[in-house]
Structures are given as structure tokens and as C-alpha cells.
Amino acid sequence: MSGEIRINRKALERFCTDVFLKLGLSEAEAADSAEILVAADARGIASHGVGRLWRYENGLKKGIMSGQVQPETLRETPMSLVLDARGAMGLSLSKITMAKVIDKAEAMGAAFASIRNSNHFGIAGFYTEMAARRDMIGISMTNTAALGVPTFGRHAMFGTNPIAVSVPALEGRIFSLDMATTCVTRGKIEVYEREDKTLPLGWAVDTKGKGTTNAHSLLEDMLFQRGGGLLPLGGEGDQFSGYKGYGLAVLVDIMTAITSGGVFGKSVMDSEATSARVCHFFGAIRLDLFRDPEALKGDMSRLLSELMNAQPAEGCERVYYAGLKEHEAEALSDKIGVPLSAKVAAQLGQIGQGLGIAFPG
């Protein structure tokens, strides 16, 4: 099965919301979770989109993750918050937590939160842009199941551990950096497996620490902790500074897990029976701590325009800044529908059929 289809964004959100409701989430949890998953596909980030819905169905049915859970507040001050998620849905809890961080920052100038014992929270940039739309710098990180192999290593010792930072400019433009600290995410490997595609050499290594192009074998080796995994940003060895990505990945573990008292490093593991309990970090900083917000955003706009107007390399059409491709893809999705691969659409149809919910495609 090949090809791509487009589904109306609101209809796709409604479908996912109905699925989550059937699986025991509250109306608010279901709507938030659906919004964040669909936002990933709308922005062209299929690795974190509705193709993951089967994971949530499996996790909620097996009790690996839970809806309608009240997180435990471990520590709170006027500008900070630490939570134990107690296995709650990472998507909806993260949106709620970032909203609290933004409210605290509104009052105090800056605020931060960390969460332990949570689940996958989708695209990190979703939360940072919440802050950017309130004239703040947004920060978001999460650790993940150990999938990344350190420089000169052969066993996974850290997750894909993404970092996101968003800064607003004028006219609604946002610089929105959202990146894994490994060359790619596991979700991207899953996309390649679904599409029966060969991995580019340089993304991952096998159980001996040597480059691999086999998506299926890599995913199985990572699941059963046999060795092998994803390479840090920069790639294999130190010639292209892979140690920098390695250092960033460990930094995310520190900010998310060490600050919250959660699980970190190689101890964050998926299995056939359970999902890794992961940790998150959120921050928001008001622009007016530094300058008049409109002046700051004006300089941001000039910076982004300079980047956009930079002369492209031979054979390339244009130069982008972080977030531009995703925001343009999202605008197109809002007009003509969210893109889904035929395989993902078929998978969603099967999930809907099993729960008695019609898939809009």
C-alpha cells in the first residue's frame, strides 16, 4: 500500500478524540491528546503523529498508561513546579503543566517545571510555542527510552532526548527549534519500517557498534536491549563531533530526570509489556525581562528575514530557519487537509473499526 491522503484537520482530531474517550480518557484529556498528535502530522512530523495512536490504544488497554489520573505535586514555589505524573497521559498533562508554567512566568517573569513518571508527550515544539504566543521564550525537553549510543559505544545509554526552544517575532512568526539530540528519532525509524525503506547509513549502529541500514532489526535490537541504537547528532565517532550530540542528550536527562527525581539514562526502558516512564522539563521566560517585547520581536523578524533571504546553495531552492517548514506545512494542512500515508490511514481505520468509530478517510 502506498501513497498519501489528506484528511480534514478537525475531522481527524474528532476521530482521535473519540478513540481516546473510548479508551477511558476524560473529554479534556482526549481533546488535548488528539490536538497534539494531529498537530505533528499537520506540521509534517509523521514520526510523532497519529501513526502512534496504536501505541496509546495498546498502552491504555493494558494499563501501561492511564487516563483521569491526578498527578502528585512534589514541590511548588511561585516560579517552579515538580510533579509525579503517576503514569498519566504525557500529552495532556504536559499541555496543562506548560499552561501553569506560563501563568507563573506571567506573574514572576520566569518559571520552570519538571515531571517524572510520565509518558510520551508528542512534539516538544507544541509546548514551547504556547509560551511564544504569550510573548515569552519557551523551553521544553523530555527524556525517552534509552535508544542512543554514546560516542565510541555500542549499547544505548540515553534517549533521543529532544530539546525545543521557541522565540516569537512580529506578525505571528516564531523561531521554533525542535530537535532530537540523536541523528533521528525512533519514530522516524518506525516510519521507514512501515514503508519498507532502507535506513541511510549514519543514522544508527548495530549490536557491534557498526553502521546499519536495517530498520526492522534495529527496532527489535533496541526493544530487547541487545545492543545497537541511534547515533547522537554528529554521527559515529568524533570526526563530525558526535560527542556534542552525546553531551546534549545527557544534558536533557539532567534537566528532566535529575531535577524531578525520575529515571534516567539506560534505566529508561521500553519492553513488550510496558512503556518507559519518562521525564519532562518546561520553561517560560517573559521577553520584557530583557527588552521591550515589540522591539525584541522586531529584531527577531529582521534576523529571520535575513536567514530566509540568504542565497541558497547550488541546486537548492531556498534557506529556512527553524520552524519555517513546519509552519508552512501546517498552514497548507489547514487548507487542504492533514497528510497521512495510506498505511497509517488503514491502521487508523482498523483502530476505529475495533472501537465502533468511523474513520473520516
pTM: 0.93
pLDDT of residue 194: 86
pLDDT of residue 276: 79
Summarize the confidence of residues 15-34 as an average pLDDT: 97
pLDDT in tens, 187-205: 889 889 988 999 999 999 9
Cβ contact 137:297 at 8 Å = no
Contacts of 217 (CB under 8 A, 6+ apart): 206
User: DSSP code of 236?
Assistant: S
pLDDT in tens, 272-318: 555 679 999 999 999 999 999 999 999 999 999 999 999 999 999 99
Does pLDDT of 224 surpass 90? no
SS (H, E, C) 281-349: EEEEEEHHHCCCHHHHHHHHHHHHHHHHCCCCCCCCCCCCCCCHHHHHHHHHHHHHCEEEEHHHHHHHH
Amino acid letter for position 100: K
3-state helix, strand, coil in the chain (%, to 5): 45, 20, 35
Domains of the chain from N-terminus onward:
4-292+337-355 (3.30.1370.60)
Amino acid letter for position 118: S
pLDDT of residue 27: 97
pLDDT of residue 274: 59
pLDDT of residue 273: 55
Q: Of the ranges 111-115, 133-137, 209-213, 334-338, which one carries the lowest mean pLDDT score?
A: 209-213
pLDDT of residue 2: 60
pLDDT of residue 317: 96
Give CA–CA dist 191/184, Å, rounded.
Answer: 11
Does pLDDT of 8 surpass 60? yes
Q: Is 317 exposed, middle or buried (0-12, 13-18, 19+ CB in 10 A)?
A: exposed
pLDDT in tens, 244-264: 999 999 999 999 999 999 999
Query: Within 13 A of 321's CA, how many CA atoms are on the CB side?
Result: 20
